[in-house]
């Protein structure tokens, strides 16, 4: 495959790319729907790049209740921290539909070699962005009320006062640590109060100041 497709390698020079190609092993794997790429407690050495499909990254308790960490419906990298540290996963990666995933084998060994500076900077940038996403999720889930959680989520995701959902209502409920009926009721109340408008996968923010006052 063309390494430049993967964000970690996209801006490397031809010479740097050649160094990586000599030290990297990438395997393409096709996963059927409802199969796991990895499960909680497993230790893997690979970094993963989603080329096609949809991946749900979530944590499941002993009763089967899930807490969604992130949903990948577009191309993306995942598993980078655990591949480097070689520690058990705290969550599972489940294919929501048939998916094509590239495994970058023995990722820590690649990092530990004399890799180009541009590659290492890309890796730091990737980690920083992932830390920001987790920090934002933590901000949402530390809110006291469901309305505050919804407001925080909408403000983080909005662009021009519109949020395009890339998950189902049930997945959003799991992400916000609530139930689907509770989420639907609260969204309906917010619509009745003229704070938002919901149209299928789109949520329009009509009164942004009210959402801001909820969390600040």
CB contact at 8 A, 163 and 154:
yes
Distance CA 167, CA 155 (A): 17
CB contact at 8 A, 27 and 51:
no
Query: What CATH homologous superfamily does 3-132 map to?
Result: Jelly Rolls (2.60.120.10)
**53 against 171, higher pLDDT:** 53
Map residue 53 onto helix, strand or coil: strand
Give 216's pLDDT tier (boundaries 50, 70, 90): low
Is the confidence at residue 139, as pLDDT, over 80? no
**Which residue ranges make up each domain of the chain?**
3-132, 143-215
The topology under which CATH files domain 143-215 is Arc Repressor Mutant, subunit A (1.10.10)
Average pLDDT, the chain: 89
Burial grade of 16 (CB within 10 A; 0-12, 13-18, 19 or more): middle
pLDDT digits (tens, 9 = 90+) for 84-103: 898 999 999 999 999 999 99
pLDDT digits (tens, 9 = 90+) for 33-70: 999 999 999 999 999 999 999 999 998 877 777 888 88
């Amino acid at each position: 495959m063309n390494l430049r497709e993967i964000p970690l390698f996209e801006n490397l020079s031809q010479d740097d790319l050649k160094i990586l190609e000599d030290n990297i092993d990438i395997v393409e794997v096709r996963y059927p729907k409802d199969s796991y790429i990895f499960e909680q407690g497993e230790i893997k050495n690979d970094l993963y790049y989603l080329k096609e499909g949809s991946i749900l990254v979530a944590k499941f308790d002993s009763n089967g209740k899930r807490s969604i960490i992130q949903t990948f419906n577009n191309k993306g990298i995942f598993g980078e921290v655990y591949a480097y540290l070689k520690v058990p996963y705290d969550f599972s990666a489940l294919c929501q539909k048939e998916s094509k995933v590239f495994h970058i084998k023995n990722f820590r060994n690649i990092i530990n070699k004399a890799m180009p500076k541009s590659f290492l900077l890309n890796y730091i940038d990737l980690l920083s962005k992932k830390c920001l996403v987790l920090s934002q999720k933590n901000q949402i889930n530390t809110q006291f009320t469901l309305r505050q959680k919804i407001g925080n989520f909408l403000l983080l995701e909005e662009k021009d006062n519109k949020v395009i959902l890339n998950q189902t209502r049930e997945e959003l409920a799991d992400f916000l640590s609530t139930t689907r009926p509770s989420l639907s009721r609260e969204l309906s109340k917010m619509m009745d109060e003229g704070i938002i408008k919901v149209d299928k996968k789109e949520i329009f923010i009509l009164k942004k100041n009210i959402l801001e006052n909820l969390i600040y």
